[in-house]
């Protein structure tokens, strides 16, 4: 069994391999070939939680354990820590231990890439990212690597955080055009962009309601019923596609609070099967995460280690 740290885990999970692996996993989850129960959430204390996410495939299986300690900055430690344990389904033989936050960041960004490939009307050239955390950084790198996106707008409520994020992104990718966008200007001065991707834990909408018909809006950050990134008006105006329908019913606060008609919500497996058609305006895509996506990442990593 190999134990991979953050750097080795990232190196074993190139987006070029992750995206098709996620497409395969989405189809298998829909067909019942992957079994993944609801995420287990165990409260540790008022500021801390333990998450357990198993998934069983025919070839390999995984269980991801993640702890979230919101006050860890005071201890000089990351808020999110954890690992993904990979084992052979038939024998239980342990194959690898991967860095949990790295797997989460990269497979989450890869699911966004899959959503773009499947739902966007054309190859994107520009993106507005709302948020400046680890997921925003992972998504920016993924969009550059996978699509060659060269123009970014970055928006968040903390102006200093936006400036620092833009500087770091420009340092990693000097060829980019990166522009900060004040959060209070976002609703009235929406840039003409192919993608709007929200990566926050906001409890009020951050995605503008009046985006262009050709713009694909993606909500990534809200993963609890009390969190919201999409405005209800946008959800009621467009076809909604989610990464995992069962998970979205319990965790997608945007959809829950907007009281959407769940009979009309489709998952990414339906989109991959061509069951949506080409809608105008384009759909919106909401992701909440799924242990099956960790299994998809584990397949890529195990293959890289072979």
Neighbours of 4 (CB within 10 A): 23
- DSSP result, 209-262: SS--TTPEEEE-S--STT---S-HHHHHHS-EEES-HHHHHHH-HHHHHHT--G
Give the CATH number, domain containing residue 273: 3.40.50.720
Cα(103)–Cα(86) distance, integer angstroms: 12
Note down pLDDT in tens along the chain; length 306 residues: 999 999 999 999 999 999 999 999 999 999 999 999 988 889 999 999 999 999 999 999 999 999 999 899 899 998 889 999 999 999 999 999 999 999 999 999 999 999 999 999 999 999 999 999 989 999 999 999 999 999 999 999 999 999 999 999 999 999 999 999 988 888 788 899 999 999 998 999 999 999 999 999 999 998 889 999 999 999 999 999 999 999 999 999 999 999 999 999 999 999 999 988 666 689 999 999 999 999 999 999 999 998
Length of the chain (residues): 306
Tally of domains within the chain:
2
Give the CATH number, domain containing residue 82: 3.30.1780.10
Cα(216)–Cα(283) distance, integer angstroms: 7
Q: What range defines the domain where residue 58 resides?
A: 2-103+292-305
Whether residue 277 sits in one domain with residue 150 = yes
């Amino acid at each position: 069994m190999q134990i991979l740290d953050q750097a080795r885990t990232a190196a074993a999970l190139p987006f070029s391999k992750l995206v098709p692996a996620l497409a395969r996993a989405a189809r298998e989850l829909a067909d019942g070939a992957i079994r993944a129960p609801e995420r287990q959430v165990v409260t540790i204390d008022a500021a801390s939680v333990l998450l357990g996410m198993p998934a069983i495939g025919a070839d390999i299986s995984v269980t991801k354990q993640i702890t979230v300690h919101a006050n860890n900055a005071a201890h000089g430690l990351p808020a999110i820590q954890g690992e993904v344990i990979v084992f052979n389904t038939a024998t239980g033989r342990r194959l690898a231990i991967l860095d949990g936050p790295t797997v989460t960041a990269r497979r989450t960004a890869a699911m966004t890439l899959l959503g773009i490939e499947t739902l966007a009307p054309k190859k994107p050239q520009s993106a507005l990212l709302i948020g400046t955390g680890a997921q925003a950084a992972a998504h920016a790198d993924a969009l550059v690597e996978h699509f060659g996106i060269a123009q970014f707008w970055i928006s968040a409520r903390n102006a200093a955080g936006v400036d620092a994020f833009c500087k770091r992104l420009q340092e990693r990718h000097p060829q980019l055009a990166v522009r900060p966008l004040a959060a209070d200007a976002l609703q009235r001065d929406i840039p003409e962009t192919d993608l709007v991707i929200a990566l926050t834990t906001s409890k009020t909408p951050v995605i503008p309601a009046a985006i262009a018909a050709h713009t694909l809006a993606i909500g990534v950050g809200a993963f609890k019923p009390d969190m919201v990134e999409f405005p209800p008006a946008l959800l009621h105006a467009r076809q909604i596609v989610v990464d995992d329908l069962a998970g979205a019913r319990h965790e997608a606060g945007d959809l829950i609070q907007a009281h959407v008609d769940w009979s009309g919500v489709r998952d990414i497996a339906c989109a991959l099967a061509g069951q949506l058609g080409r809608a105008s305006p384009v759909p919106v895509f909401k992701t909440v995460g799924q242990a099956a996506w960790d299994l998809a990442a584990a397949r890529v990593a195990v293959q890289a280690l072979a």
